[in-house]
Chain A
Amino acid sequence: MKRSSALVTAVATLSLFFGLASASPAYALPGGSGISESKGFDSCQDPTASQMQAFWNGTPYWWLGTYIGGVLMLCSQPNLSASWLNTVNGQGWGFEFIWVGPQPPCTGYRVRFSNDPTTAYNQGKQEAANAWNMLTGTLGVTNGALDTALVYDLESAPSSCQTATNKFISGWDYQLHLTPAQKAGVYGSVCGANLNALTGASPVPDFVWGAWYNGNPSTSNLDGGGCGVANGNWVNHQRLKQYTNTHNETWNGVTLSVDNDCANGPVDPTSQPIDSACP
């Protein structure tokens, strides 16, 4: 990464000697991530580049929870493309990539993974491979998306099928850790998705993104009042928090339906400033 960045910087610097030059058509987003302690937001539909510009100036947000695919990704994503990622990153934004695939077998979603542990494990691997292909193929993330953080959206995970869920997430984690390895995350309600029980996955997810709408941005407490993530788990810059439910926000004349988030963990493609509200 450092060598790649140096080359890009060198090109940018040298290009300053040319008043008029050929434009590079490359839309590639660099792979990678960096530990960030900063606020972000997510929206069911990835906003347009213009909307993202409006949500940058004078706002507390530095990164966008970005839905990139999966069979159960709910909202259509007409804006999502390699060009859009490049443009929005060029505005200054970071990303947290989200993949919404099959849900646990004891839920009511249309597509569910198997209750059989072996099958569930292989399905988790398959979803990771699909997500990685999306990142490095359609979305053009470079360097094999090495070190890029990638989050599995686990909307509900009742304990009645926890074994299958842990096996599925184990497969997700295992596959993402293959060279070039990504950082494997899981998003879910701290209680409804039983995030704490994913300590039983092997390997354990690199980080968790817990939803707990208590309005407190601090990632230090994801315990959900007792049913969520234990305070001693995922403590080494391994937490993100979605701390408000969907609501409308208006910045610079643009209104979006958003959830508010804080990161104290990896954000793509580089680290971001420290916000004291997100310890």
Chain B
Amino acid sequence: MGAMHSRPDSDQVGVMNEMKRKSGGRRAAILAIGAAALTALVAAFVVTGSAAAPISWVDQAGAPLPAVAPIQAQRLCRAADLQIRVGRDGAFHGWAAQELVLTNTAGDACALAGPLAGAAVLDAGGERALAGSAGAAAHRLDLAPGQTARMLVGTPGACAGAGNPVVASSLRLAFDTGETAAVSGVWLNVECGAPRTVLFSADAIPAAAVPASGLRATLTAPSSVGRGRTLSYVVTLANPTANTITFGSCPSYTEWLGSGPSVGISRTLRLNCGAAPRLGPGQSVAFEMRLSVPQNSTLGPAKLSWHLEVPDGAGAGTTIGVS
């Protein structure tokens, strides 16, 4: 505890310096990219046997993915519902903090009220209550089955005379149900003050993937477009997986062009995938896209983005100028 970082061997540092000087040169990188480009072109020709234009765009309305309803638990989490894992310890916003990962293992949603009032750390000096929460930590989290919450418990990282850690290695969490759970293996230095919850947030709920979730997208667009003009660009979907991906009914996509919060245009259309209903492993297919740029668009740099309306759908974007 409180160990100094191990002193690096000077020879080792010297070797690393030498390695750094020798590797990663610009010429090597360009050659590698050039070789990859040549390989890709040759392979493309082998697959298709002939040149073909991107699949043409069609103006057919699509539908965005339904919005995911917020989780609203009907009950509080019990200690038995949660798998508690001790994560990393480290430095964050001036805090010396410990990460805890709480996963809802129950079959239904449950709620945790941050910052788990009554939590305490145990050290040689006895038990110290958490001082409360800081900033975004003070709120309730509703966890879906399988969803995780991330809790950061921290103490001030510096104070006068710091450098002689007083370390607590156990933590007691008190739940709203009145239950408690002891967590060992934590690292909390209380020499600069009592610990408090400094962050309490939920991780994303894993999406139910569909085959098209495995696609990757790249976008090629001109560097600028005039107001009142039609922007033509190309989206290429690639299948990096080992399995053939079949579209079935053609999925929708959403494109966005804008320069800032709520300033822009967005459309959701149907992908014209009839000519390429499936993609084999390693194959890609290019689609033409068109977007009418309104006369009243904001001049200057704008975000252009495109994403497939499937769970974890592929997305691509770039910056273009509106003139």
Across the interface, which residues of A come within 8 angstroms of B262, CB to CB? 58
Which 6 pairs between the two chains have the least Cβ-Cβ distance? A144-B24, A92-B317, A23-B238, A273-B301, A74-B90, A19-B52
Q: How far is the CA of A213 from the CA of B303 in the complex (A)?
A: 27
Q: How far is the CA of A175 from the CA of B12 in the complex (A)?
A: 13
Please tell me if B252 contacts chain A, counting CB pairs below 8 Å. no
Please tell me if B218 contacts chain A, counting CB pairs below 8 Å. yes
Across the interface, which residues of A come within 8 angstroms of B21, CB to CB? 178-179
B298 to chain A, nearest CB (A): 11
The interface size bin for chain B is 35 or more
Across the interface, which residues of B come within 8 angstroms of A71, CB to CB? 5, 90
Structural contact, B91 and A113, CB atoms closer than 8 A = no
A167 to chain B, nearest CB (A): 13
Smallest CB gap from A145: residue in B? B24
Please tell me if B102 contacts chain A, counting CB pairs below 8 Å. no
Across the interface, which residues of B come within 8 angstroms of A18, CB to CB? 44-45, 47-48, 51-52, 286
Please tell me if A57 contacts chain B, counting CB pairs below 8 Å. yes
Across the interface, which residues of A come within 8 angstroms of B10, CB to CB? 122
Structural contact, A180 and B204, CB atoms closer than 8 A = no
Please tell me if B136 contacts chain A, counting CB pairs below 8 Å. yes
Majority-rule SS of B interface residues: mixed
Structural contact, A175 and B17, CB atoms closer than 8 A = yes
Structural contact, B285 and A73, CB atoms closer than 8 A = no
Which of A56, A111, A142, A156 is the most central at the interface, judged by chain B CB atoms within 10 Å of its CB? Answer: A156
Structural contact, A123 and B5, CB atoms closer than 8 A = yes
Across the interface, which residues of A come within 8 angstroms of B165, CB to CB? 108, 110
The stretch among B75-83, B104-112, B119-127, B152-160 that forms the contact with chain A is: B152-160
Q: How far is the CA of A70 from the CA of B88 in the complex (A)?
A: 11
Please tell me if B217 contacts chain A, counting CB pairs below 8 Å. yes
Please tell me if B208 contacts chain A, counting CB pairs below 8 Å. no
Structural contact, B87 and A7, CB atoms closer than 8 A = no
Task: Choose among B45, B204, B256, B319 the residue that contacts A58 (Cβ–Cβ < 8 A).
Answer: B256
Q: How far is the CA of A44 from the CA of B154 in the complex (A)?
A: 14
For B1-38 the 0/1 string (1 means CB < 8 A from A) is 11111011010110011001101111001101110110
Across the interface, which residues of A come within 8 angstroms of B204, CB to CB? 47-48, 50-51, 254
Please tell me if B170 contacts chain A, counting CB pairs below 8 Å. no
Residues 35 to 82 of chain A near chain B (Cβ within 8 Å): 44-45, 47-51, 53, 56-60, 62, 70-76
Structural contact, A16 and B162, CB atoms closer than 8 A = no
Q: How far is the CA of A247 from the CA of B52 in the complex (A)?
A: 49
Which of B12, B51, B165, B319 is the most central at the interface, judged by chain A CB atoms within 10 Å of its CB? Answer: B319
Q: How far is the CA of A14 from the CA of B236 in the complex (A)?
A: 12
Across the interface, which residues of A come within 8 angstroms of B45, CB to CB? 18
Structural contact, A90 and B217, CB atoms closer than 8 A = yes
- State whether A59 and B91 are in contact (beta carbons under 8 Å apart), knowing that A22-B282, A178-B17 are contacts in the complex: no
19 residue pairs from A and B, CB less than 8 Å apart: A8-B37, A14-B41, A18-B44, A18-B286, A19-B55, A24-B238, A26-B36, A47-B204, A58-B264, A73-B88, A92-B305, A92-B319, A108-B155, A129-B16, A142-B29, A146-B24, A153-B91, A157-B158, A273-B300
